[in-house]
Amino acid sequence: MSILKVIKYPNPLLRRSSRHIDLIKEEDKRLADDMLETMYLNHGVGLAAPQMGISKRIIVIDVGDGPIKLINPEVVERRGSATGDEGCLSLPGIMVTVKRSEKIRYKGLDGDGKVIEGEAEGLLSKAIQHEIDHLNGKLVVDYANPIKRLFLKKKLLKTPNF
Ligand code: ZN
């Protein structure tokens, strides 16, 4: 496994819509493993392939209950709403208040192409929705109101980290 570079805002690759994976290849499995390792090193709870500059529908998550790899993930059911502050490894140094569905049912494939289906709430629910946003080119700054967004963008561009 190897550590990958996490690309940062305003890299345009973060805004691309990622493509569905029809056939899981060895390189996709390796990418998911590398993403997990990269996530742990950066103390994140989730990462999406576009954050590595790769426009494929692959996400990895670990909210403390062990690693989850999801290929072609989707939310199939939503209930309630929950608002909370979220950070992102591609947007270092900022937190954004985001309103999301409270409980979700999600679906996807594991690294072997087996269908995974589950229910999530709390941090896991938030993380899955956050990472799926990345696959659609959406970032947490998009949830801020226009004035806050301007402030956050300025702050991000000043961060020496990107
Ligand atoms: Zn993120």
Measure the N-to-C terminal CA separation of the chain; round to a whole number of Å.
Answer: 24
From ligand 1's centre to the CA of 89, what distance in Å?
6
pTM of the model: 0.96
Confidence (pLDDT) at 110: 95
**Where in the sequence numbering do the catalytic residues fall?**
131
Find out if CATH 3.30.365.10 is the number for domain 12-158: no
> Tens digits of per-residue pLDDT, 92-124?
999 999 999 999 999 999 999 999 999 999 999
From ligand 1's centre to the CA of 79, what distance in Å?
22
- Ion ligand 1 neighbours, Cβ < 5 Å: 88
Average model confidence (pLDDT) across the chain:
95
Q: In this structure, what token pair is assigned to residue 51?
A: 């954050």
* pLDDT, mean of residues 27-44: 97
Confidence (pLDDT) at 18: 98
- Owner of token pair 């289906």: 117
- CA nearest 73: which of 105, 44, 29, 43? 105
Percent of the chain scored above 90 by pLDDT? 94
From ligand 1's centre to the CA of 112, what distance in Å?
25
Query: Residue 158 — very low, low, confident or very high, per pLDDT cuts 50/70/90?
Result: confident
* DSSP H stretches of helix in 22-121: 26-41
From ligand 1's centre to the CA of 98, what distance in Å?
12
Query: By the 8 A CB rule, do 139 and 90 touch?
Result: yes
Q: Characterise 53 by phi-psi region: left (phi > 0), alpha (psi -120 to 50), beta (else).
A: left
- CA nearest 84: which of 46, 21, 127, 47? 127
Span of 80-84, 85-89, 149-153 with lowest mean pLDDT: 149-153
State the virtual CA torsion across 15, 9, 1, 27 in degrees, nearest 10: 20
Confidence (pLDDT) at 160: 64
